[in-house]
Amino acid sequence: MKKSTLLVIMTTVFTLFAQAQYAKLYPSNWWTGMKWNKVQILVHGEYDGFNKEQVRLQYPGVKLLKTTALDNGKYLAIDLEISATAKAGDVVIEFLSGGKVHAVKWPLYNKRAGRGTVFAQGVNSSDLVYLIMPDRFSNGDKSNDKIAGLKDQSLDRSKIYDRHGGDLQGIINHLDYLKNLGVTTVWMTPVLLNDQPERTEHGYAITDHYTVEPRIGGAEKYKALSDALHQRGMKLMQDAVYNHVGSKHLTFLDQPTKDWYHQWPTYTGTSFKDQPVYDPYGSAADKKLMSDGWFVPEMPDLNQNNPYVSNFLIQHALWSVEMFGVDGWRIDTYIYNDLPFMNKCNKALTDEYPKITLFGETWVHGTASQAFFAENNLNVPFKSNLQGVTDFQTLFYGIFPAIKEKFGWTEGVNKLYTTLSNDFLYKDANRNCIFLDNHDLTRVYTEFGEDAEKVKMGIAWLLTTRGIPQIYYGTEVLMKGEKNPDGYVRLDFPGGWEGDAKNSFTGQGLTEQEKSMQDFVKTLANFRKNSSAITKGKLMQYVPDDGLYVYFRYDAGQTVMCVMNTSEKDKTVDFSKFAERTNGFKSGRNVITGANVSSGFQIPAKRMWILELGK
């Protein structure tokens, strides 16, 4: 072979495979055997005019359907069809311009299911979800506390808005603590890259959908966490953000199309008023302001009516489940999204993964308002296919007034009773996620005036009523903090950092009250885990009587009597008043203390008891 020929070959090979940065492809890969087998790749090239390049590929079972030049000269959309005969391997996509050929490898993998890992199994009423902000839970790897080149280089635990160094390894290190506590599912605030100049600790300003935040460990560590959870019989939830991105996201800095984002003449924020979305008398202008207005200037609002945006978001959701073994989704700011788009996205996920769980954040006021955004029994023009919601109604108009307000005809615990009586609005209220606090709310210990007994009442209700219970990290050890500013409800979990004087994982330095709360949660959560009546049974509630609220969880094999005394006086509880459920039972065992009671027992003021009835 002549040297000149060899040089040409070597140059061609170099041109084809050594220029990995010539174009970036989103999604970065796909899988064989997926129902979503028509994939639209968004391609970002190096230079203006890239969208005029020709595209070709030759790979068995993969067909190039079409190439579309987008408004921005740096972007192409490539539509592929992956047939059932396609095998795993590197699909080489060639870009031709000016006589030159550049190529990018686009991996095609075998479906994750082939690895034997149980995933996309769904989260249901038998689970207990534990919400973690990774940066604030535990620092398991100091080497990733700062990452060179990222815009936010803060690292100061004394400042509530700086990064603190918590990471995925820190969570992995303490999964046994969580499992022993009774937790079955870990939900984290978003784990994707937030390369913003500041406020990157929370994760909700995503700047790259296909990069897991390196400061919490990156993609491989996220896979390791998923595997570690599943090996323990636990589950993983991912926090989806479809409504907006961070202002440093590539598609905002260099927008693929003129309408990739909702555009306004000047900055326009959302009204935060959900009513125009479903109001039969509402104006189109109010609805547009609600849905298309931005959350904050740093979070541009995505236009999900743009089909390329829609595909980008849906494919990323599918990609995340397959790549990381996600079992369920909590969907951020659900009510601000384009709702037909959300139906399409939800359907794509459940078509691909029939058991997967989806519940959306619906911070609204009123049970009918909340039910509108979920699968419901309402006669309304738009029908949502969202399985469940984050149930703010049972919080604000339920357990909070039950514990904090004096009893009245419509006040106090009657609000909780009334709110639950409205469950007829939902197709399945048991798929709603219930909670006492989260990363946006005042911590429940502070909410209840630092009264630990009231917190125990709240937790007793949380772990026995209908729905999917979620506990916020640190609630079990009485972490406190006001939501204004929100950084004070996102402080570090005690013991998550080397040198912490207090360690909630080991019990070192905890007060007797904190230990008592931790033991209470552990005892009740583990009882719940093994209770068929609570996790799979029915709920029957009785009209509250002078502050005394009684409800039952029951099935053919078990009956659990839940007695909440919200009054200022001790109350006598007579089984005969609840004969529908107590008939045939003579006693009840307090699942916390182990003590047995019989009809006519007295429950102290401001206490809740959970009794497993026996014959």
Write the pLDDT tens digit of every residue in 219-262.
999 999 999 999 999 999 999 999 999 999 999 999 999 999 99
100 confidence band (pLDDT: 50, 70, 90): very high
* Nearest of 342, 349, 336, 373 to residue 243 by alpha carbon: 336
Res 14: pLDDT: 38
Using DSSP bridges, classify how beta strands 54-57 and 468-472 pair: parallel, antiparallel or unpaired.
unpaired
Asked whether the beta carbons of 224 and 176 are under 8 A apart, the reply is no
Is the pLDDT confidence value at 29 over 80? yes
- If pLDDT is split at 50, 70 and 90, which confidence band does 118 have? confident
Q: What angle do CA 325, 328, 330 make, to 5 degrees?
A: 130
Lateral strand order in the sheet of 75-82: 23-26, 38-45, 75-82, 62-69
Q: Averaged over 565-571, what is the pLDDT?
A: 97
Dmax over CA atoms of the chain, in Å, equals 102
Please name the residue that has the structure tokens 């360690």.
503
* Across 35-63, average pLDDT: 97
- Average pLDDT rounded to a whole number, residues 54-59: 97
Write down the pLDDT at residue 112.
Answer: 81
Over the Cα atoms of the chain, what is R_g? 27
Report how far Cα 488 is from the mean position of its chain's Cα atoms: 21
Give the pLDDT of residue 88.
97
Stretch 199-225: mean pLDDT, rounded? 98
172 near 223, Cβ under 8 Å? no
60 burial (CB, 10 Å; 0-12 / 13-18 / 19+) is exposed
- What the block records as the tokens of 479 is 């972490």
Measuring CA to CA, which residue among 134, 129, 132 is closest to residue 145?
134
* Residue 413 main-chain phi, psi, to 5 deg: -70, -15
Question: Is residue 7 very low, low, confident or very high in pLDDT (cuts 50, 70, 90)?
Answer: very low
Model confidence over 493-509: pLDDT tens digits? 999 999 999 999 999 99
> Residue 102 phi/psi, 5° resolution?
-120, 145
Residues 6+ positions from 296 with CB-CB distance below 8 Å:
269
Averaged pLDDT for residues 269-287:
98
Count of positions (residues) in the chain: 615
For the chain, list the domains and their CATH numbers: 3-109 (2.60.40.10), 129-247+306-534 (3.20.20.80), 539-614 (2.60.40.1180)
CA distance 588 to 559: 10
**Consecutive H or E run containing 571:** strand 571-573
As to burial, measured by CB atoms within 10 angstroms (0-12 exposed, 13-18 middle, 19+ buried), residue 33 is middle
Under a CB-based contact definition with an 8 Å cutoff, are residues 152 and 198 in contact? yes
3-class SS of residue 395:
helix
pLDDT of residue 11: 38
187, 130 in Cβ contact below 8 A?
yes
Percent of the chain whose predicted confidence (pLDDT) is above 90: 95
31 pLDDT band, cuts 50/70/90, is very high
pLDDT tens digits for range 508-519? 999 999 999 999
pLDDT recorded at residue 21: 63
**Residue 5 pLDDT > 70:** no
Weakest mean pLDDT among 5-14, 43-52, 87-96, 233-242:
5-14
What's 88's DSSP letter?
A: S
**2: confidence class by pLDDT, cuts 50, 70, 90:** very low
Work out the average pLDDT over 100-124: 87
pLDDT value at 447 more than 50: yes
Token readout for 116 is: 């034997």
Which own/partner contact pairs does 498-505 have at CB distance under 8 Å and 24+ positions apart? Answer: 498/139, 504/474, 504/476, 504/477, 505/174, 505/177
With cut-offs at 50, 70 and 90, classify the pLDDT of residue 117: low
The mean pLDDT value for 432-440 works out to: 98
Distance CA 82, CA 108 (A): 9
Name 204's Cβ contacts closer than 8 Å, sequence gap at least 6.
Answer: 189, 190, 194, 241, 299, 332
**Cis amide bond preceding 604, omega within 30:** no
Tokens encoding 22: 């010539």
Whether residue 397 contacts residue 415, with contact meaning beta carbons closer than 8 Å, is answered with yes
* Residues noted as catalytic: 332, 361
For the chain, what is the total number of helices (H) and then of strands (E)? 18, 26
What's the pLDDT band for 116 if we cut at 50, 70, 90? low
Torsions phi, psi for 176 (to 5 deg):
-65, -35
For residue 292, how far is the Cα from the chain centroid?
Answer: 22
* Distance (Å, whole) CA 265 – CA 263: 7
pLDDT band at 490 (very low <50, low <70, confident <90, very high): very high
Residue ranges in 184-335 assigned as alpha helix (H): 218-231, 250-253, 275-278, 284-292, 307-324
Q: Across residues 277-306, what is the average pLDDT?
A: 98
Taken in order 407, 408, 412, 416, is the CA torsion positive or negative? positive
Q: How many CB atoms lie within 10 A of CB 210?
A: 17
